[in-house]
Amino acid sequence: MTPLHNDTFLRALLKQPVDYTPVWMMRQAGRYLPEYRATRARAGSFLDLCKNTELATEVTIQPLERFDLDAAILFSDILTVPDAMGLGLYFAEGEGPKFTRPLQDEAAIRALAVPDMQKLDYVFAAVASIRRALSGRVPLIGFSGSPFTLACYMVEGGGSKEFRTIKSMLYARPDLLHRILDINAQAVAAYLNAQIDAGAQAVQIFDTWGGALSDAAFQEFSLHYMRQVIGALKREAEGRRVPVIVFTKGGGLWLEALADSGADAVGLDWTCNIAQARARVGDKVALQGNFDPMALFGTAEAVEAEVARILAGFGHGSGHVFNLGHGINQHTDPAQAKVLVDAVHRLSRPYHV
Ligand code: CP3
């Protein structure tokens, strides 16, 4: 393997000294980039793009050609895992992801099993190909959905605002939901370990919908299973630690618990005060995120001011990876993303002397 030329991101996740605060953006490869839309059109569809090694590699690298990012993230989707379980993933134009066979009766749930990882070989092939294309430029992040977030899509059959179906199951038949979550946790651990074997240098667990749960339900149905996943992950590869980032959107109330999950870093959405978050997690974990993706719709000066405010909030020393508090919006002007990335690098140096 080629040596890593820029390991600032990995060092910050482990709270080791850095010269500046590293930055990447959730959904950095995506529809806000015209070159992404062109490649997706060549692939045919989003899923065809995920399954095409060469084109998935191309779109992963695209944002790095425009912006001075400190990490790349595998181009794929969290729903590849339930697709491999046989639920039949498809994307209805303008409606987001859907499953043809959602888990809505007991028989289907009893039949659910950890998928053969060979069904996900296209993901591991993309990881290996992206590592070759990066040739040590920056580290590559692998990812998965959390067991609970995957279950939301698997039970609802698609996106949801109220989560009425899965919450009905949670309160009426918790045994059935626990069975799904147990299988998901095993599948996610195997999936992330296979990404690490293929070359992922850090991994992130996206718990996008954990924040929709009550405090008690979050502990029992989301955090518990993320702990199981984290406990089963390989933590070293190529002679280096493979850091784990856990991101519960809306999880600001549970920072101490997330810091105790076994992860190296905790993702923050934009609703938290990062200075208070740092005080609450102490030395346990690094923090990632905190910039409201919608702030990219302000002026360039407003973007810089918001970057400055977050950097000052975190304060001196290592342990912060700058990021958005959720994925970049598809209507974002790429020029504004460049303003953000450059501002993070320029304005963070005084905090690392
Ligand atoms: O960050 C990156 O650049 C890596 C790629 C990535 C995608 N999805 C590509 C994608 C990652 C890390 C994801 C994670 C993901 N996927 C999550 C968790 C994070 C989050 O955003 O909350 C979730 C919930 C999904 C499920 C999913 N996939 C949804 C809800 C959608 C539709 C959303 C939308 O914006 O329309 C997708 C599709 C998807 N995944 C796109 C991309 C670039 C858009 C597909 C397109 O090109 O039309």
> Each residue of 14-59: pLDDT tens digit?
999 999 999 999 999 999 999 999 999 999 999 999 999 999 999 9
Q: What is the pLDDT of residue 92?
A: 83
Domain ranges for the chain, please list them.
Answer: 8-268
Q: Residue type at 265?
A: A
Rounded to the nearest angstrom, the distance between the alpha carbon of 327 and the centre of ligand 1 is 8
Q: What is the pLDDT of residue 308?
A: 98
* Share of residues in the chain with pLDDT > 90 (%): 98
Beta-ladder partners of 96: 92
- Nearest Cα to Cα of residue 315 among 274, 283, 346: 274
Q: Where are the alpha helices (DSSP H) in 112-173?
A: 121-134, 147-156, 164-172
Atom of ligand 1 nearest to the CA of 79: 26
pTM, two decimals, is 0.98
Atom of ligand 1 nearest to the CA of 330: 35
Q: Are strands 240-241 and 236-237 parallel, antiparallel or unpaired?
A: antiparallel
Rounded to the nearest angstrom, the distance between the alpha carbon of 155 and the centre of ligand 1 is 18
Ligand 1 pocket, Cβ-based, cut-off 6 angstroms: 26-31, 40, 46, 73, 75, 77-79, 96-97, 143, 159, 206, 208, 327
Whether the per-residue pLDDT at 70 is higher than 80: the answer is yes
Whether the per-residue pLDDT at 1 is higher than 80: the answer is no
Whether the per-residue pLDDT at 291 is higher than 70: the answer is yes
Active site residue 31: yes
> 125 CB contacts (<8 Å, ≥6 apart)?
53, 198
Active site residue 40: yes
Residues 311, 23: Cα–Cα separation, whole Å:
12
Residues 134, 60: Cα–Cα separation, whole Å:
10
Q: Where are the alpha helices (DSSP H) in the chain?
A: 8-13, 34-43, 46-51, 53-66, 80-82, 106-111, 121-134, 147-156, 164-172, 174-198, 215-217, 224-231, 255-259, 274-281, 300-314, 334-348
For residues 332-337, give the mean pLDDT.
98
Beta-ladder partners of 241: 236
Protein residue closest via CA to atom 45 of ligand 1: 46
Taking only the tens place, the pLDDT of each residue in 78-132 is: 999 999 999 999 998 888 999 999 998 999 999 999 999 999 999 999 999 999 9
Q: What is the pLDDT of residue 2?
A: 81
Whether the per-residue pLDDT at 251 is higher than 80: the answer is yes
Whether the per-residue pLDDT at 135 is higher than 70: the answer is yes
Q: How confident is the model at residue 242 (pLDDT cuts 50, 70, 90)?
A: very high
Protein residue closest via CA to atom 34 of ligand 1: 96
Q: How confident is the model at residue 311 (pLDDT cuts 50, 70, 90)?
A: very high
Q: Where are the alpha helices (DSSP H) in 52-118?
A: 53-66, 80-82, 106-111
Rounded to the nearest angstrom, the distance between the alpha carbon of 46 and the centre of ligand 1 is 10
Instruction: Evaluate whether the domain defined by 8-268 bears CATH number 3.20.20.210.
Output: yes
Q: Which of 78, 93, 143, 191 to mutate to test the pocket of ligand 1 (most atoms within 8 A of CB)?
A: 78
Q: How confident is the model at residue 168 (pLDDT cuts 50, 70, 90)?
A: very high
